[in-house]
Structure 1
Amino acid sequence: MPSLRSRALTAALMAAGRRRRLASAEAVRDQVARSARRPASHLPPRSLGRVADVSRTFVGAWPVYDAAPRGADPATRVLYIHGGSYIDELVRPHWSLVRTLVTEAQAHCVVPAYVLAPRGTADRTVPVATDLLSGLIASGGDGGTVLIGDSAGAGLALAAAQRLRDRTGAQPSRIVLISPWLDVSMTHPDQAALEPADPMLALPGLAEAGRLYAGTLALDDPLVSPLHGSFAGLAPITVFTGTRDVLTTDSRELLHRARADGVEVEFHEAPGLPHTYPLLPVPEGRAARDRIVSLVRAAADG
């Protein structure tokens, strides 16, 4: 049973019509056009600079932020890839998770503000994310490297891990996927039944956002939809999903396919919780963040 606070937040999201922005392909195209005219900021909040050393570099066209513990050597490294249906920038809940990782896990976080769709398509985006992951792993030093992504960012993270495995065989210490979007086709037969209870996501808009991200690639190309790629040889994976999330089908499919390929999977499915609940200010979100912190700390110990 979800907590009272979680139920209240879910009800508020439903009442606010949060998923209207994904209600149709036209709504997504309108949003993309507005963003092209007036791009949203991806800057971290000033409050992060009070507890972390924050800097920015560029990898090609990508601004890449570094946030490290202030006055202390980081215990481990994290590549965090944000969600937003591939069409939205970093927002405050993403930065709040980064703050938690820096302050509670003593992690050095690398946070790319990747180019959004339709300018940023999978064939361009996945190779850059792979290079970032490879460089972070190769930077060596004490501690491990944890790859974390939420929603669309989790799909990009998994695709990068698969590509790096194919390229060099290297892997991070662990992969953490929060409400991952792993198949952009939105054709799973169970999704239509899940959609009415989802307070945040809607199938038509997700399908259009996925189409924009795919560009010239097929929707089932593993670069676009890593659920269709091989899981063999990947690092251990931790997954968080909620049952009021139309994308929970992707998490369940990952569980079966990854274990069939011999990959260790730690699976958390929270009854009654919505999309990306580990980022939300609810007790279940706090518990999930505590688990993520413990996993990042464990990576530091090898």
Structure 2
Amino acid sequence: MPSLLSRIVPWYLRATRANRPFITAEGARERIRERTLRPLPYGPPRRLRSDVEVSVLHDSVRPVYTLTPRSGRARGNVVYAHGGGWVNEIAPQHWRLAAEIAARAETTVTLPIYPLIPFGTADRVIPAFAELVLANRARYGEVCLAGDSAGGQISLSTALLLRDEHEVILPRTVLISPALDLSMSNPEIAEVQPSDPWLGRPGGLVLGERWSGPLSITDPQVSPLFADFTGLGPLTVFCGTRDILMPDARLLVGKARAAGVAVDYHEAADLVHVYPLTPTPEGRAAQAVLIASLRAALTRPNGGEPSAQP
């Protein structure tokens, strides 16, 4: 049974109407209008771990932040793609997780503030993430990708693009409740929907269509579930069962394992979307697994792949 704090989370999400941009198409369109007119701040919270240093550089479009452990023992790099339905800016929870990864995995963490819809689309953002990973490989050595929700889609699509266009296989990609099929055509989504206090298919379809831009909704840069996973590096995947993205996460795990990819899958009963980011015992436990996974991938000689999990 989930902890008391995890049982409170669905109530809190419903009470704060966190699902407004997702449960109706008009709610999604209104969120796009609102964020276009009034963008949210994206800078780091004033209080992060004191043992992590934050710096920022600006590329030609948006800022790119770097979190570095003050211990001076950093090895490798993690490029983290934040979630938010491709329409919401990075949140304090993302910053706190990035700081935990930097300090506890003893690595640098790169946080790109990527353009959101209606200005950002997959055909622009995914190649930009791939170029960032390539640049960081030259600077730091081994690089892993990680992301939650919409950021999980960005991370997996980027890993696939790196494999296909640059022959680069990452030592690990970590996906937290990833969006995988933006057509949301899995019939099992309807079965999960009543228990999901956060996401919804009608709004999700609008956001996915805007994010796809000129690409087909089934293009792997938009919906990575449609890709061939042969030769992809290892994956670590987290998902709760009170999440409409869970049915596609199961499909991903099955399809990737069938293609010979090592997958470490963590499915949590009765927990919500992106539960590893929640301030709960289950969230903290998931973060410990996530950080250990990244640390191992970045300290393994030559980025060697671990064996597949059962």
TM bucket, shorter chain: over 0.9
> Deviation digits for residues 104-160 of structure 1, max 9, x if unmatched?
22220000010001211111111001111122223244xx32211100101011111
Who is 2:53 aligned against?
Answer: 53
Give 1:71-86 correspondences, 5 Å limit. 71-86=71-86
Q: Distance in 2 between matches of 1:53 and 1:251?
A: 34
Higher mean C-alpha deviation, range 274-283 or range 55-64: 55-64
Alignment match, 1:109: 109
Residue identity matched to 1:180: P
Residue in 1 that maps onto 2:303: none
2:242 corresponds to which letter in structure 1? Answer: R
Amino acid at match of 2:232: L
1:93 aligns with 2:85: no
The gaps in structure 1 that reach 5 residues or longer are none
Q: Distance in 1 between matches of 2:214 and 2:140?
A: 36
**Which stretch shifts more, 30-39 or 8-17?**
8-17
Q: Does 1:158 align with 2:156?
A: yes
SS of 1:242's partner is: strand
1:207-237 CA distance string (max 9 Å, x none): 1000110112111111110111111111100
Query: What residue number does 1:234 align with?
Result: 232
Q: In the TM superposition, what is the alpha-carbon distance from 1:31 to its structure 2 partner? A: 1.3
What is the CA–CA distance in structure 1 between the aligned matches of 2:229 and 2:33, rounded to whole Å? 36
**Contact in 2 for aligned 1:137/1:172 (Cα 8 Å):** no
Superposed CA offset, 1:262-293 (max 9, x none): 11111110000000000001111111000011
Q: Give the letter for the 2:74 counterpart.
A: P
Equivalent residue for 2:65? 65
Supply the distance in 1 between the matched residues of 2:62 and 2:186 (Cα, whole angstroms): 33
8 Å CA contact 1:120, 1:213 repeated in 2:
yes
Q: Deviation of residue 17 (structure 1)?
A: 2.5
Paired position in structure 2 for 1:5: 5
Matches for 1:147-296 after TM superposition, within 5 Å: 147-296=145-294
Paired letter, 1:150: D
Look up the SS of the partner of 1:54 in the other structure: strand
Instruction: Evaluate the alpha carbon distance shift between residue 148 and residue 55 of structure 1 in structure 2; reply closer, same or farther with a 3 A threshold.
Output: same
Which one is further off, 109-118 or 46-55?
46-55
Per-residue deviation, 1:71: 4.1
Q: Secondary structure at the match of 2:78?
A: strand
Q: Contact 1:76/1:297 (CA < 8 Å) preserved in 2?
A: no
In structure 2, distance between residues paired with 1:173 and 1:60: 28
Q: Provide the rounded CA distance (Å) in 2 between the counterparts of 1:155 and 1:60.
A: 23
SS in 2 for 1:72: coil
Identity %, equivalent residues: 42
CA distance in 1, matches of 2:31, 2:230: 38
CA RMSD, Structure 1 to Structure 2 (Å):
1.3
> What SS does the aligned partner of 1:266 have?
strand
1:35 aligns with 2:35: yes
Mapped to 1, the partners of 2:62 and 2:161 lie a distance apart of: 19
Which stretch shifts more, 6-15 or 209-218? Answer: 6-15
For 1:243 and 1:15, how far apart are their aligned partners in 2?
20
Unaligned runs of 5+ in 2: 301-310
TM-score (norm 1): 0.96
Task: Tell me what 2:304 maps to.
Answer: none
